[in-house]
Amino acid sequence: HLKLKKITARWIPNQLTDSQRAERVRICQENLAKFNQGTWWLCDVVTGDESWFYHKQLGRKSSNAAWTASGETPPTVVRRSHFAPKTLFCIFFKTTGPVLIHHVERGQTIDHDYYINNCLQPLVNEIKKQRSSSGTHAIKIHHDNARPHVQKDVSTYLASQGIMKML
């Protein structure tokens, strides 16, 4: 017996250098300090991202498990096709729940202009409606580094509305 065991490799989104990892820790500690000191409030943070939703759910591994008798063939689950029906949504939420859910039309790609006109402008309008007295004052947006999010026009628009991008 070789005393080996089979394990599944852990998935990570990208390989970071030690300096990149240290920079992320530093930024997180700075942000946490702002919350702890009371200069930032969690209710002022809006988180946003795009996500695909498939029209048919395959189920989890445990729900696809079945007892089979000896010699009986186990049930099969076919992997989802790359072309399976799905819908893209841009979703923004705060601690109080969703602020904006935007359905992206089929075939539409999200570039910085689309992101500003169809996601950020309606988001700002909704925030101003929900916070009629303070508007976008002290609002911080947290989104990933996708190309449309980091484009200069997006940063300029957010700054013009008084919204800070969280690092």
Percent of the chain with pLDDT over 90: 70
- Higher confidence at residue 20 or residue 64? 20
Bridging pattern class, strands 140-142 and 164-165: parallel
Task: Write out pLDDT tens, residues 125-153.
Answer: 999 999 999 999 999 999 999 999 999 99
Banded pLDDT at 61 (limits 50, 70, 90): low
| Cα 57 from Cα 80, distance rounded (Å) | 9
165: pLDDT strictly greater than 90: yes
- State the pTM of this model: 0.78
Q: Where are the domains of the chain?
A: 45-53+83-167
Which residues are 50's β-sheet partners? 90
68: pLDDT strictly greater than 70: yes
- Higher confidence at residue 85 or residue 72? 85
So what's the pLDDT on residue 151? Answer: 96
Give per-residue burial for 84-114: e unless 16+ CB within 10 Å, then b: eeeebebbbebeeeebbebebeeeeebebeb
Is the separation of the CB atoms in 125 and 157 below 8 Å? no
So what's the pLDDT on residue 164? Answer: 97
So what's the pLDDT on residue 1? Answer: 65
Banded pLDDT at 94 (limits 50, 70, 90): very high
Q: Which two tokens stand for residue 35?
A: 């919350």
Q: Which CATH number fits domain 45-53+83-167: 3.20.20.70, 3.30.420.10, 3.40.50.300, 3.40.50.2300?
A: 3.30.420.10
Q: How many CB atoms lie within 10 A of CB 132?
A: 7
| Cα 105 from Cα 93, distance rounded (Å) | 21
